[in-house]
Amino acid sequence: MKFSKKSRYGLIALIDLAVNSKYEQVSLNSIADRNKISPQYLEQVFASLRRAGIVRSVKGSQGGYLLSQRADKITVAKILEALEGDYHIERDISSENDDYPEISKTVQKLVVDRVNEAIDEILLNLTLADLEQNYLDDKKYGQHMYYI
């Protein structure tokens, strides 16, 4: 299982958008500049996010992007599905032709299914608002936090 650059950049860009679009739309170039992401690559990422209904574009000379709904309504699962498709570990279809299908069923049930359930537990309950708040907390307190 790999967390792609597209997913990482998409999450980074959406956190930036959530933080900076409270009062007006945000241009892709400004997001790209702040986060050192290629604007052309970001256009591809935002095309996927727009098709999934996560962001909406505002046309014109002062155009840009806004979230299509509140950040607390956008789950990380929805974002990753928009950018990558299904994020689960795939089912093993070869088990149907195995001499010992019980072994494959055991691996599927006790490993793959449980990993997918754990991934869902995290990604369906983690929202863009959670990511935004964590970023803001780290930005505000991160440099001055001392642990004993």
Q: C-alpha distances in angstroms, 86 versus 4, 79, 98, 119, 124?
A: 13, 11, 26, 12, 13
**Is the pLDDT higher at 105 or at 45?**
45
pLDDT value at residue 144: 57
Task: Tell me which amino acid residue 108 is.
Answer: Q
- Helix (H) or strand (E) segment spanning residue 16: helix 5-20
Q: What is the pTM of this model?
A: 0.86
- In tens, the pLDDT along 63-111 reads 899 999 999 999 999 999 999 999 998 887 665 567 778 888 899 999 9
